[in-house]
Protein backbone atom coordinates (compact mmCIF):
# COMPACT_ATOMS: atom_id res chain seq x y z
CA UNK A 1 0.00 0.00 0.00
CA UNK A 2 1.38 3.38 -1.02
CA UNK A 3 2.07 5.67 1.95
CA UNK A 4 3.16 9.24 1.52
CA UNK A 5 3.08 12.53 3.37
CA UNK A 6 4.14 16.14 3.43
CA UNK A 7 6.31 17.73 6.08
CA UNK A 8 5.64 21.24 7.34
CA UNK A 9 7.83 22.73 10.04
CA UNK A 10 10.20 20.65 12.10
CA UNK A 11 9.32 16.96 12.17
CA UNK A 12 5.57 17.49 12.25
CA UNK A 13 3.79 15.37 9.67
CA UNK A 14 0.90 17.12 7.93
CA UNK A 15 -0.50 15.47 4.85
CA UNK A 16 -2.44 12.55 3.53
CA UNK A 17 -2.10 8.79 3.71
CA UNK A 18 -3.42 6.72 0.82
CA UNK A 19 -5.53 9.60 -0.45
CA UNK A 20 -7.35 10.21 2.84
CA UNK A 21 -7.45 13.50 4.73
CA UNK A 22 -5.71 13.76 8.08
CA UNK A 23 -7.95 12.89 10.98
CA UNK A 24 -8.96 15.20 13.77
CA UNK A 25 -7.89 12.62 16.36
CA UNK A 26 -5.64 15.03 18.26
CA UNK A 27 -8.31 17.73 18.37
CA UNK A 28 -10.90 15.22 19.59
CA UNK A 29 -8.40 13.97 22.18
CA UNK A 30 -7.93 17.51 23.49
CA UNK A 31 -11.68 18.06 23.74
CA UNK A 32 -12.23 14.78 25.60
CA UNK A 33 -9.36 15.54 27.94
CA UNK A 34 -10.84 18.97 28.61
CA UNK A 35 -14.19 17.43 29.51
CA UNK A 36 -12.49 14.98 31.88
CA UNK A 37 -10.28 17.48 33.67
CA UNK A 38 -12.65 20.46 33.90
CA UNK A 39 -9.71 22.78 34.39
CA UNK A 40 -9.92 26.17 36.07
CA UNK A 41 -7.96 29.43 35.95
CA UNK A 42 -4.53 29.51 34.31
CA UNK A 43 -4.56 25.78 33.54
CA UNK A 44 -7.74 26.26 31.52
CA UNK A 45 -6.19 29.16 29.58
CA UNK A 46 -3.09 27.11 28.77
CA UNK A 47 -5.22 24.17 27.71
CA UNK A 48 -7.44 26.30 25.45
CA UNK A 49 -4.28 27.78 23.91
CA UNK A 50 -3.17 24.26 22.96
CA UNK A 51 -6.60 23.51 21.46
CA UNK A 52 -6.53 26.76 19.46
CA UNK A 53 -3.05 25.86 18.24
CA UNK A 54 -4.36 22.51 16.98
CA UNK A 55 -7.31 24.21 15.24
CA UNK A 56 -4.96 26.67 13.54
CA UNK A 57 -2.86 23.74 12.28
CA UNK A 58 -5.97 22.13 10.77
CA UNK A 59 -6.95 25.41 9.10
CA UNK A 60 -3.42 25.85 7.77
CA UNK A 61 -3.52 22.29 6.42
CA UNK A 62 -6.74 22.97 4.52
CA UNK A 63 -5.35 26.19 3.05
CA UNK A 64 -2.25 24.38 1.80
CA UNK A 65 -4.16 21.42 0.34
CA UNK A 66 -3.24 22.13 -3.30
CA UNK A 67 0.42 22.57 -2.44
CA UNK A 68 0.36 19.33 -0.46
CA UNK A 69 -1.15 17.46 -3.42
CA UNK A 70 1.72 18.62 -5.61
CA UNK A 71 4.28 17.66 -2.98
CA UNK A 72 2.80 14.21 -2.45
CA UNK A 73 3.12 13.53 -6.19
CA UNK A 74 6.77 14.60 -6.08
CA UNK A 75 7.27 12.48 -2.97
CA UNK A 76 5.91 9.35 -4.67
CA UNK A 77 7.59 9.92 -8.03
CA UNK A 78 10.99 10.48 -6.41
CA UNK A 79 10.64 7.27 -4.35
CA UNK A 80 10.84 9.06 -1.00
CA UNK A 81 9.18 7.03 1.71
CA UNK A 82 7.68 9.22 4.42
CA UNK A 83 6.36 8.42 7.86
CA UNK A 84 2.82 7.15 8.14
CA UNK A 85 0.33 9.75 9.36
Which tens digit of pLDDT belongs to each residue from 1-32? 334 444 443 333 444 433 344 455 666 777 77
∠ CA 23-37-56 to the nearest 5 degrees?
Answer: 35
pTM of the model: 0.31
- Domain spans in the chain, listed from the N-terminal domain onward: 1-85
pLDDT confidence of 76, banded at 50, 70, 90?
Answer: low
> What pLDDT, on a 0 to 100 scale, did the predictor assign at position 6?
43
Amino acid sequence: MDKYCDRIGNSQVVGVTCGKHITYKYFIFYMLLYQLLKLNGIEKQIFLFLVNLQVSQIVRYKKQRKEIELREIRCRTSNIYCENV
